Amino acid sequence: MSVASVQAPHLAELCSSLGRSSLSVSSSLSDLVGSPFEISADNVLTIEDLRVQMGSCFTCGVSWAEDHVSLDCSECGGYGLERPCPLCDGSCGSTWKRDFTMSHASGKARWQGSCPSHPISHPPAMVLPTIVTPAAVPPTCGATRNQFLAQELCARLEKLSTQT
């Protein structure tokens, strides 16, 4: 069984701990035993536990894997692991899958899939996220077009804030 540590010590704790101890970059593993860097069993998750956590909403805690959602949570977005196509409200019959990484990172529901009713000039291997260009939405769908504009602006702001 594999284990992964999911909690790292805070930088301030590391710096203050280094100042108080005789550990250096060249310290051996035996020097680390009993040091503040030692990992306790409370801070370690199995891969199975990590999968369960990734399949759950970080904001409200419900389990998407069990089709639980919170309707007022932006990370859940009202759906579990799958949802009908958000571009045409499911009229095309395609099902989109949750993008766990982006949903957790942004705190908002993010989806991967494609809509045959709204062809976009992307290579076939590329996965289309929910955030699409407004040009892909017909001008007759004013509300949908505005929603995509808002999503695109949010995505750009998130990208800028992570780069700064």
Q: What secondary structure does DSSP assign to 85-141, as a single string?
A: -TTTTTTT--EEEE-HHHHHHHSS--EEE--TTS-----TTSPEES---GGGS-TT-
Q: Are 110 and 102 in contact (CB under 8 A)?
A: yes
Tokens of 20: 């108080």
Exposed/middle/buried for residue 141 (C-beta within 10 Å: 0-12, 13-18, 19+): middle
∠ Cα 51 56 59 (to 5°) = 135
Q: Where are the domains of the chain?
A: 45-112
What pLDDT was estimated at residue 29?
A: 52
Per-residue pLDDT, averaged over 65-81, amounts to 86
Band (pLDDT 50/70/90 cuts) for residue 54 is confident
- The answer, as to whether pTM is greater than 0.85, is no
Q: Are 65 and 81 in contact (CB under 8 A)?
A: yes
Band (pLDDT 50/70/90 cuts) for residue 58 is confident
